[in-house]
Structure 1
Amino acid sequence: MEYATSKYAKNFKAIVISNMQSSFPEYAAYNNKLRSRIDPDVIALMEKYESKGDFLNPEYDALVMKHYYSHHVCRIVPFPDGVQRAMDHHNQHIYELMQGPSEFVPGGLLADWDITDKLSTIIIPSLMVGAKHDTMDPEAMKKQASLVQKGRYLHCPNGSHMCMWDDQDIYFTGIIKFIEDVESGTF
């Protein structure tokens, strides 16, 4: 989104924004809403680790995986091999630098990032993808499609943040249709 609002936007023919909000503070608020749906006893256990900054504790990780990731990141349990390999090799240092120490303790360099007011400057065909069970608010992504100049929204009703895995038929059919429409000039 940042690149598409810059002077380099002319290098794009179109853009797909898959499961990403244009406002980190709004994402954090939505994420808190999702967290509030977790059993209070589980939240109390998670807070025990969070208060100590013990975000890498395997017990904390297991709680987050069971009560959050398996519902909102990827709903295929166990994770498909490609998802699991990516999770096993993510760079925690970069994650914390950008996002904060946990999904539930947002911060880092993105803490105040919000380009919602700049979306109207995106002039290329733009597909915003959201999913019912996403970590990002699907309504925000639907709104983003109306804020860009040539927007379309794709909703994945069975998907999560990784709807390219857990709602593949809807996701890829929508992506392919968007690409075909852009290529044919009918978008």
Structure 2
Amino acid sequence: MSEGTVEFTIDGVDTPVKTWYKVFGDLKARRPLVTLHGGPGVVHNYMLALADLVGTHGIPVVVYDQLGNGNSTHLPEKMGDTSFWTEALFIKQLTHLLEHLGIQDDFDLLGHSWGGMLSARFATQQPKGLKNLIISDSPASMKLWVEAANKLRSQLPPDVQNILDSHETAGTTQSEEYHGAVMQFYARHLCRLNPMPQDIQDVFGWLQKDPTVYLTMNGPSEFHITGSLKEWSIIDDLHKIAVPTLLLNGKYDEAQDSVVQPYFRAIHKVKWYTFAESSHMPQYEERERYVQIVGDFLTL
């Protein structure tokens, strides 16, 4: 295992920013898997289960923190700046990291949730080094995501729904009562393990420290989308993805089948697996099976 940082420059920031990354295994041993965490605006911690692939399949794994979060550069002064926090920014960061590690000509990608959306967008550009793509627990459009989330939300106890509705109407979504109600949704559809693994709990801790990216691009919760991604869709461009692709989601996932289906219909070389006992975090809820499915796809 090794870790480091790499600096690069971006428009709108006077000084270089840095990307923090960690590598598990030997990048020269075989084609590496680069992982993209979700959010947008969370951290790499909950992707660490993928490091199991080093032992099970000999696959080197790269994790990193996207800009604005974790150990990478934070830019709280950019709160609300939708012209700054864009897909293009995060694709530039990914491209720079691939080049720094010297793997830009031969790599696989696994993106989870927002990371899957970002990796799919990157794949539509047909980068020459991308050989396989895994889209895990990700929507093809935010419209479909919100529709699915609202159906799941309607199954919550009425008192919990009332709390959510009242705070969203009043604009008081930063209240402890609202967050408590959101956590009841998450316990059903984000991660069904009780207690949640520490790696997942770390995500919430980092969000509290710096919610800049999450609030700007997403909004106050997984089902109340007010940020710049509100109208996001990749459906019209999915036919441009040319590499073998694996779709993953869970039976109880926020990413219900309806939000994943467009990927399956439009990508030419595609497989789809749904985890029967998982919600949004099958890499922890069914860790051994998840690692097996991913590893086998990348090596068989």
TM-score by length of 2: 0.57
Structure (1/2) with the larger strand percentage: 2
Where in structure 2 are the equivalents of 1:14-163 lying within 5 Å?
14-66=132-184, 68-90=185-207, 91-163=210-282
Deviating beyond 3 angstroms after TM superposition, the runs of 4 or more aligned structure 1 residues are none
Structure 1 residue 135, shift from structure 2 partner = 0.7
Larger mean CA deviation between 22-31 and 140-149 belongs to 140-149
* CA deviations over 1:58-96 (Å, ceiling 9, x no partner): 121111112x00110011111111110122112422111
State the alpha-carbon separation in 2 of the partners of residues 77 and 104 from structure 1.
22
State the alpha-carbon separation in 2 of the partners of residues 107 and 56 from structure 1.
14
Where in structure 2 are the equivalents of 1:147-186 lying within 5 Å?
147-181=266-300
The answer as to whether partners of 2:277 and 2:285 remain within 8 angstroms in 1 is yes
Extract unaligned runs of 5+ from structure 1.
Answer: 182-187
State the alpha-carbon separation in 2 of the partners of residues 23 and 120 from structure 1.
15
State the alpha-carbon separation in 1 of the partners of residues 259 and 289 from structure 2.
19
Aligned residue identity for 1:162? M
Go from structure 1 to structure 2 and tell me whether the alpha carbon gap of 1:148 and 1:19 turns closer, same or farther (over 3 Å shift). Answer: same
State the alpha-carbon separation in 1 of the partners of residues 297 and 156 from structure 2.
36
State the alpha-carbon separation in 2 of the partners of residues 147 and 92 from structure 1.
34
State the alpha-carbon separation in 2 of the partners of residues 140 and 60 from structure 1.
26
Structure (1/2) with the larger helix percentage: 1
* CA deviations over 1:110-169 (Å, ceiling 9, x no partner): 111111121111110111111101111124324523421111111111111111111213
The answer as to whether partners of 1:21 and 1:27 remain within 8 angstroms in 2 is yes
Aligned residue identity for 1:51? T
State the alpha-carbon separation in 2 of the partners of residues 170 and 138 from structure 1.
19
TM-score by length of 1: 0.89
Question: How many positions carry a matched residue from both structures?
Answer: 179
| Identity fraction in percent | 29
* Residue equivalent to 2:4: none
* Residue equivalent to 1:185: none
Structure 1 residue 37, shift from structure 2 partner = 0.8
Aligned residue identity for 1:27? W
Larger mean CA deviation between 139-148 and 92-101 belongs to 139-148
The answer as to whether partners of 1:130 and 1:142 remain within 8 angstroms in 2 is no
State the alpha-carbon separation in 1 of the partners of residues 258 and 144 from structure 2.
11
State the alpha-carbon separation in 2 of the partners of residues 112 and 142 from structure 1.
18
State the alpha-carbon separation in 1 of the partners of residues 259 and 146 from structure 2.
12
State the alpha-carbon separation in 2 of the partners of residues 153 and 107 from structure 1.
30
The answer as to whether partners of 2:141 and 2:259 remain within 8 angstroms in 1 is no
The structure showing larger relative contact order (alpha-carbon pairs under 8 Å, at least 6 residues apart) is 1
Structure 1 residue 104, shift from structure 2 partner = 3.0
Aligned residue identity for 2:279? S
